[in-house]
Amino acid sequence: MDPLLDQLQGGLVVSCQPVTGGPMDRVDIVVALALAARDGGAMGLRIEGAANVQAVREACDLPILGLIKRDLPDSPVRITPWREDVQALAKAGADVIAFDATQRPRPVPVADLLAEVRQAGRLAMADCAGMADARAAAALGVDLVGTTMSGYAGGPVPDAPDLDFVRTAAAELDVPVLAEGRFNTPEAAAQAIAAGAFAVVVGSAITRTEHVTGWFAKAVAGARR
C-alpha cells in the first residue's frame, strides 16, 4: 500500500470547503480551517480549488485530497471534470486528486482523467454515486473509491448517509473505500468505519458554519412552534 494511504487508514479526513460565496469563502480561512482540523486530529484534508490547495500545502503537511468544482452548461459533472483541473491540482500540491466517476454525460471520460492523474504522479480518488460507478472505477485501477456522490446524482437528497453503499463497496472491492456524504455526527462517522470504510470524510458538520447553524435554527424553530 502507498505510504500516504497508510496515513489515512482508519482516520478522519476533514473537507475544508466553505459555502461558495459565503463569508468564509476565503483562502486564508480555508487554511485556518485546515490547521484547526489538523490540530483536532484529522489525518487528511479534502480541499477544493487550486489556490486553496497551494495555500494549505504551504501551511500543513497532512495529505491533501484535492478537487476543483465547476458548473458546466452541458454536463452535470462538477468535480474535477477537465484534464486541466488535474494538472492544476497536481501543480498546487495535492497528493490525491478526486474526480466525479459517475456514469453521466461528461466532458472527459473517467479513464482519461485517471491517465492524467497517473501522468502527474498522484493518487486517484473516484467519487461515486453507487456500486456501478464504484465497480467501473475499481476496474480502471483507481487508488480510492469515495461514496461522495451517493444521493447527489439525481432525485431528492436523503438526510442519512449511505451506509449500505459503504458496506457493500468495502466488502466487494479490492480498493480502499472512503465514506463521504452526510456523515454529519461523530456517531455516523464511527458507523462508517464499523461498516468497513478505509477512512471517513466529514465536511459540513465541521467547516460549514452556515449549515450547522441552520440545523440548530431549524430545531429551535420547530420546538418553539
Lookup result for grid cell 452541458: 74
| pLDDT value at residue 1 | 83
Q: What is d(CA 37, CA 212) in angstroms, rounded to the nearest whole number? A: 16
Contact (CB, 8 A) for 9 and 199 = yes
Beta bridge partners of 124: 97
Q: In the numeric block, which cell numbers belong to residue 6?
A: 497508510
Q: For residue 212, give the nearest of 33, 13, 11, 10 by alpha carbon.
A: 33
| pLDDT value at residue 162 | 98
DSSP-derived 3-state class of residue 13: strand
- Its pTM stands at 0.97
Q: What is d(CA 53, CA 31) in angstroms, rounded to the nearest whole number? A: 9
Lookup result for grid cell 475544508: 16
Q: What is d(CA 188, CA 13) in angstroms, rounded to the nearest whole number? A: 14
| pLDDT value at residue 111 | 98
Q: What is d(CA 103, CA 147) in angstroms, rounded to the nearest whole number? A: 14
123-127/144-146 β-pairing: parallel
For 59-125, the DSSP string reads: H--S-EEEE-B--BTTBS--BS-SHHHHHHHHHHT-SEEEEE--SS--SS-HHHHHHHHHHTT-EEE
Q: What percent of the chain has pLDDT over 90?
A: 99
Contact (CB, 8 A) for 200 and 13 = yes
What average pLDDT values come out for the chain (225 residues) when binned by 10 residues?
Answer: 95 98 98 98 98 98 98 97 98 98 97 98 98 98 98 95 98 98 98 98 98 97 92
Q: In the numeric block, which cell numbers belong to residue 53?
A: 490547495
Contact (CB, 8 A) for 179 and 192 = yes
Query: What are the pLDDT digits (tens) for 81-109?
Result: 999 999 999 999 999 999 999 999 999 99
Query: What are the pLDDT digits (tens) for 182-200?
Result: 999 999 999 999 999 999 9
CB atoms within 10 A of CB 107: 14
| pLDDT value at residue 225 | 84
In the chain the domains, ranked by start, together with CATH numbers, are: 10-224 (3.20.20.70)
